[in-house]
Structure 1
Amino acid sequence: MPQDGNLLQAAVVFLFAAVLTVPLAKRLQLGSVLGYLFAGVLIGPQVLGLIGNPQSVAHISELGVVLLLFIIGLELSPRRLWVMRKSVFGVGLAQVLLTGLVIGTIALLGFGQPLPSAVVLGLGLALSSTAFGLQSLAERKQLNAPHGRLAFAILLFQDIAAIPLIALVPLLAGGGDSAASGDGLSHGLRVLGSIAVVVIGGRYLLRPVFRVVARSGLPEVSTATALLVVIGTAWLMDLAGVSMALGAFLAGLLLADSEYRHELESQIEPFKGLLLGLFFISVGMGANLSLLFADPVAVLGLMLLLVAIKLPLLMLIGRLAGGLDRVSAVRLGVVLAAGGEFAFVVFKIGRDQGLFDARLYDTLLLTITLSMAVTPLLLLACARWVRSRPKPAKEIPEHLRAIESDAPRVVIAGMGRMGQIVARILRAQNISFVALDTSVDSIELIRSFGDVPVFYGDPLRPEILAAAKTGDAEYFVIATDDPDVSTRTAELVSRLYPHLKIIARARNRQHVHQLLDLGAQAVRETYYSSLEISRRTLVGLGLSNAQADARIRRFKTHDEQVLAAQHLVYDDDAKVLQTAQEARAELTRLFESDSLEEQKAAKAKAM
């Protein structure tokens, strides 16, 4: 906290640092995690010194990880966890043992560490960061991707494995006498007892409690109850020497099938995001930058060595044990290549037990912190590498490649949802058409419903258009969902076949203007559904069907006039804005005029 102990000043410092750095990091596509880390470094004792005691912050910030694991537990259920057992206890165990063995061997033979220290080093560095990994996956919406699900399974096993690893460190340090054995037995009984309390309480006590709270109708009491469950479970587990995060996960898991699951998640989510950000800030504050400046080669070299060891091992495990393809295996390795926050706890116990000296301990902590900091950069590089890789050419069956057509009246480009509806209506009217798409899977699916004339082909290639006998058609319908592709297709078709009428799907008003410039008729993809939603809403709010229909017709006519006017000035933002403001006022005046006319007509009818 600040040196003068002012809590408000600390809150202002944290919030200001986060508001300043996180949006900047997001804008640079580095992710919010790196922004929080940089904020911590900036306000910590190594740079500006605005926060003098990072340890006091770190303890509070651990609640962010606790809340994160609780919400993850809520989104699972015991049945889903049982389905994941092979990934959790199979792949997770393989990752920890293999990575720990390789790193421990390098520490033993390459760096001359004693065997007990090498074992703790290997297993501690085999752990990855739950908070960093899951937050990075969530930001990129990859939690449900194959590598995201496997990463979660591995991280869950690592959290479980941290418990016996913490108990193992004193034994490796030489505390293996009968007293230590007795302490170990006592610790084991405490762990089992605390887990039993959580399981029994979660199954038989929490639901009645939430039922009573829900009936009270007080949202603040509901929030307090949710926080009490999470923090109370974490506190109980911490007393028993178990990972607080694992205890919270267990509580969430027990409530996953509860009817109050969504209510709990909505109450916890805001606190989770704020405290998780505080956790990342505390990690940045704890970085010993003086050690980095004193020996940058050694520190950076250890960080690169850690990533260089874990990343290929994770890729190997992902491919062989997890069944991932090459790209997903690389993504798995990048997400989990860094060290983890539980290693901080393991290495602190190792230092206290005499396995590490103070300098080695500081070096290990800085190495893990830097590996966390480099993870967003690796994810960014991985995303660019994936985008730059040429997609493997899927073998196109000859019956999909050969376009067979007898002078179609309509050619459809794109057989997504919109293209399929157009095709169904044309087919019902016995109007001949040819459809083109570049997704083999979509083509085969559509053909499975009947003999639909859909073929593999890119409408941006002139030879494909010629093979589809586009020149003999009357209409060319562009139903692709990519605005750039549809615009370039309209440009190509209008140039090669100027006699052809083009109707194109438009994403927005700007896209409409671009298509109109090319001579195409533009149909906005959500326009008519939005009008229907508005009509039904007006009827539901008390207007008659006739009144609602009149309002929608009035809006449609007015909007088409505005669109035509804006087409003349759409490349001038100021004039477009002025036109929109004038149109809004004009529409309000027209609606008021319609209402007055309806009132006069109603009075005349009543008389």
Structure 2
Amino acid sequence: MVGHVAEAAAHGVDLVPVVALLGAAVIGVPLFKRLGLGSVLGYLAAGLLLGPSGIGLINDPESVLTTAELGVVMFLFIIGLEMEPAKLWALRKQIFGLGVIQVGACGALLTGVGVLLGFAPVVAFIFGMGFVLTSTAIVMQILGERGELSTDSGQRMVSILLLEDLAIVPLLAVVAILAPSSGGDVGIVTRVLSIAAPIGAVLLLIFVGRRIMNPLFALLASSKLREVMTAAALLVVLGAALLFQASGLSMAMGAFLAGVLLSTSTFRRQLEADVEPFRGILLGLFFLAVGMSLDLGIVGDNWQIIAMSVVAYMLVKAGAIYIIARLLKSSHREALERAVLMGQGGEFAFVLYTTAVSAGIIDGPTNAIFTATVIVSMVLTPFFIIGLRYVTPKKEAPSMDGVEEVADLTAKVLLIGFGRFGQIASQPLLAMHHSVSIIDNDTDMIRAAARIGFKVYYGDGTRLDILRAAGADKASIILICTDKKEQTTRIAELVRDEFPLVKVMARAFDRGHAIELIKAGVDYQMREVLESALTFGGQVIRILGASAEEAEEVVEGVRDRDRQRFDLQMVGGGQMIAGSHLLISNAEEQAREGGVIVAEEAAEEAVTKSTQPA
């Protein structure tokens, strides 16, 4: 049988390693997840089994790792698609503040640890700075599985990871400076080019992303060939990665920047859907390759120094991360979780160490020790995360008893969010006997609604698969009644991109959010307290002596002036603009002439200035 396999391999593609990798992923990963050990550890264990230290089915893990790094590249592209420039700008203090502090402090401490372990200062610096670069793949995968990428704590970790990925660029430049002189002269032209090339690559990608990509995708979309759009999506990711790699930058950062530039594109969701399957497979392959790369022979021969390095580096790095987080006002739980999640080395350490070998700063055996230390730390991280559950257990997941998950709904009206607003909004629809599907992700509320005769399905409206299962593609109108601004806007954008023919009505939190929803493409929005507050104010002036007709006239006047200000703010990009003071002046003039005195313009302008960026 073996002879037949070998003969088949000799006359065509050797499918044995491919089948083995797929089999390991399909069998091992679900098993590890079922045991509560996580998918990352499942991939690492499967890779170790298949690699040279296991059954030896794959003897060249480096070649697999080179290809599998594209998984990290595509992962960062998808993260970039979620990071609109405005959102990225909002994170600038975390990226260049928290990120720089963590990288600088951990780098200095780990360099000192390396010196104490007996390495020369320069070698200790390379070792320590490589270990500072946390595994983006592991942390992002875990945050993604938990659904925590968009939380405040998740965003802080993402910010630090972005800074660490950026840090590889100056670190590679430092390696070139620290390289022993070969005796040859390095011309000034060479030095200038080494600086100009990365800058030129960034500027070129920004130009292409802003001026060419959108028209190109519009042209390709008109062909109505899905495979062409998929090929174009892969071309953008791999082209950006190649451009940055050729200029001495990180491939992953090139893909991330390409994603950011396309984050405001109308084709964003299509790109995400096209790249996602490749990202998942290649990222799994990356973890398999890391597991294969763990050479147990090297670990056995140098177990003492590797063991001391793993313990010392992980403890010092995790401790520094915890202290920095606490000093910057993070809670004990958040600081501890960040320390455990980010306490390992990462994939960019391999790049730094390999470059240091090429530059003659470290030799092959030292590189093997450094690489094994990083890989062991990556393998141990899932175990530490499991231990964290017992040290600081989270609240139990909500019970699903009596709750039915959304599936194959077909009603003409889809209502998302069944809180106090959605409950009232649904009643006229039900009174007119319209078919309504209702989804919410609060299990207690769903059970309470069932007790009074409402059928509400469990589902998260920010997920595209849930929207499809809820019948968004079959609905005539979608009502977004959720009580969180970010959640409402996210759903509105998803519906606009994926179901453009469906009419959308949304609950807005305030004036700024209403403007945001209109820009997201909703057909109608209503601020949640506007009409109730107007009714309340009208009743007040009636009690104070106004007739019903006078009260109605005053309320309608307030409503009309509110619409005018809203239109002006829409023109001005969501802020009070030049000329809007005329509305206030007119109102004041009416007051001087004995008309109705209103002050809501000045009050709302003050609120606007306090809640919106200048």
TM bracket, shorter-chain basis: 0.5 to 0.7
Deviation of residue 51 (structure 1)? Answer: 1.1
Does residue 62 (structure 1) correspond to residue 62 (structure 2)? The answer is: no
Structure 2 partner of 1:15 = 22
Q: 1:214 to 1:298 in 2, by over 3 A?
A: same
Residue among 478, 481, 492 paired with 2:444: 481
Structure 2 partner of 1:487 = none
Deviation of residue 118 (structure 1)? Answer: 2.1
TM-score (norm 1): 0.64
Does residue 367 (structure 1) correspond to residue 373 (structure 2)? The answer is: yes
Structure 1 partner of 2:59 = 52
Deviation of residue 283 (structure 1)? Answer: 0.6
Deviation of residue 181 (structure 1)? Answer: 5.8
Residue among 317, 323, 326 paired with 1:319: 326
Residue among 230, 234, 256 paired with 1:223: 230
Deviations, residues 188-211 of structure 1 (Å, cap 9, x unaligned):
111111111111001101111100
Structure 1 partner of 2:126 = 120
Deviations, residues 150-199 of structure 1 (Å, cap 9, x unaligned):
11001000111101101211211234985076533212111111111111
Does residue 138 (structure 1) correspond to residue 144 (structure 2)? The answer is: yes
> What pairs up with 1:151-300 in 2 under 5 angstroms?
151-175=157-181, 179=186, 182-300=189-307
Distance (Å, rounded) in 2 between the aligned partners of 1:87 and 1:44:
39
Which has the higher mean CA deviation after the structures are superposed, 92-101 or 310-319?
A: 310-319
Does residue 339 (structure 1) correspond to residue 345 (structure 2)? The answer is: yes
Deviation of residue 375 (structure 1)? Answer: 1.1
Does residue 526 (structure 1) correspond to residue 489 (structure 2)? The answer is: no
Deviation of residue 361 (structure 1)? Answer: 1.2
Distance (Å, rounded) in 2 between the aligned partners of 1:139 and 1:133:
10
Structure 2 partner of 1:376 = 382
Structure 2 partner of 1:546 = none
Calculate percent identity across the aligned residue pairs: 37
Structure 1 partner of 2:34 = 27
Distance (Å, rounded) in 2 between the aligned partners of 1:204 and 1:125:
38
Contact 1:44 1:54 in 2 (8 A): yes
Distance (Å, rounded) in 2 between the aligned partners of 1:359 and 1:529:
55
Distance (Å, rounded) in 1 between the aligned partners of 2:75 and 2:190:
31
Amino acid at match of 1:246: M
Amino acid at match of 1:77: E
Amino acid at match of 2:351: V
Contact 1:292 1:299 in 2 (8 A): yes
Distance (Å, rounded) in 2 between the aligned partners of 1:36 and 1:275:
12
TM-score (norm 2): 0.63
Amino acid at match of 1:84: L
Deviation of residue 7 (structure 1)? Answer: 4.1
Amino acid at match of 2:162: L
User: What RMSD, in angstroms, separates the aligned Cα atoms of the two structures?
Assistant: 3.1
Q: 1:180 to 1:58 in 2, by over 3 A?
A: farther
Distance (Å, rounded) in 2 between the aligned partners of 1:386 and 1:91:
24
Residue among 330, 352, 360 paired with 1:354: 360
State the SS of the aligned residue for 1:481.
helix
Q: 1:237 to 1:524 in 2, by over 3 A?
A: same
Amino acid at match of 2:356: G
Structure 1 partner of 2:111 = 104
Residue among 391, 394, 397 paired with 1:385: 391
Contact 2:52 2:295 in 1 (8 A): no
Which has the higher mean CA deviation after the structures are superposed, 116-125 or 296-305?
A: 296-305
Distance (Å, rounded) in 2 between the aligned partners of 1:150 and 1:89:
11
Which has the higher mean CA deviation after the structures are superposed, 20-29 or 5-14?
A: 5-14
State the SS of the aligned residue for 1:216.
coil
Distance (Å, rounded) in 2 between the aligned partners of 1:30 and 1:197:
43
Q: 1:227 to 1:385 in 2, by over 3 A?
A: same
Deviations, residues 489-521 of structure 1 (Å, cap 9, x unaligned):
xxxxxxxxxxxxxxx8598xxxxxxxxxxxxxx
Contact 1:97 1:123 in 2 (8 A): no
Amino acid at match of 1:16: G
Deviations, residues 61-107 of structure 1 (Å, cap 9, x unaligned):
01100000101111011111111111001111111110010011121
Residue among 95, 98, 110 paired with 1:91: 98
Number of equivalent positions? 417
Distance (Å, rounded) in 2 between the aligned partners of 1:115 and 1:294:
24
Amino acid at match of 1:481: D
Q: 1:57 to 1:421 in 2, by over 3 A?
A: closer
Distance (Å, rounded) in 2 between the aligned partners of 1:524 and 1:273:
42
Distance (Å, rounded) in 2 between the aligned partners of 1:253 and 1:266:
16
Contact 2:113 2:313 in 1 (8 A): no
Q: 1:180 to 1:93 in 2, by over 3 A?
A: farther
Deviation of residue 351 (structure 1)? Answer: 2.1
Contact 2:80 2:258 in 1 (8 A): yes
State the SS of the aligned residue for 2:186.
helix
Distance (Å, rounded) in 2 between the aligned partners of 1:142 and 1:23:
21
Deviations, residues 33-82 of structure 1 (Å, cap 9, x unaligned):
11111111111122111112111111110110000010111101111111
Q: What residue ranges of structure 1 are gaps of 5+ in the alignment?
A: 391-415, 426-478, 484-503, 508-521, 531-535, 542-607
Contact 1:147 1:329 in 2 (8 A): no
Amino acid at match of 2:389: A
State the SS of the aligned residue for 1:349.
helix
Distance (Å, rounded) in 2 between the aligned partners of 1:184 and 1:368:
32
Q: 1:506 to 1:26 in 2, by over 3 A?
A: farther
Contact 1:344 1:365 in 2 (8 A): yes
State the SS of the aligned residue for 1:124.
helix
Contact 1:58 1:279 in 2 (8 A): yes
Residue among 3, 6, 13 paired with 1:6: 13
Deviation of residue 528 (structure 1)? Answer: 9.9
Distance (Å, rounded) in 2 between the aligned partners of 1:332 and 1:527:
36
Deviations, residues 87-145 of structure 1 (Å, cap 9, x unaligned):
0011111111100100111212x123222212222221111011111111111122123
Q: 1:151 to 1:529 in 2, by over 3 A?
A: closer
Q: 1:204 to 1:175 in 2, by over 3 A?
A: farther
Deviations, residues 466-490 of structure 1 (Å, cap 9, x unaligned):
xxxxxxxxxxxxx98299xxxxxxx
Deviation of residue 232 (structure 1)? Answer: 0.9
Distance (Å, rounded) in 2 between the aligned partners of 1:196 and 1:506:
55
> What pairs up with 1:502-513 in 2 under 5 angstroms?
505=448
Q: What residue ranges of structure 2 are gaps of 5+ in the alignment?
A: 1-5, 397-417, 428-441, 460-469, 476-614
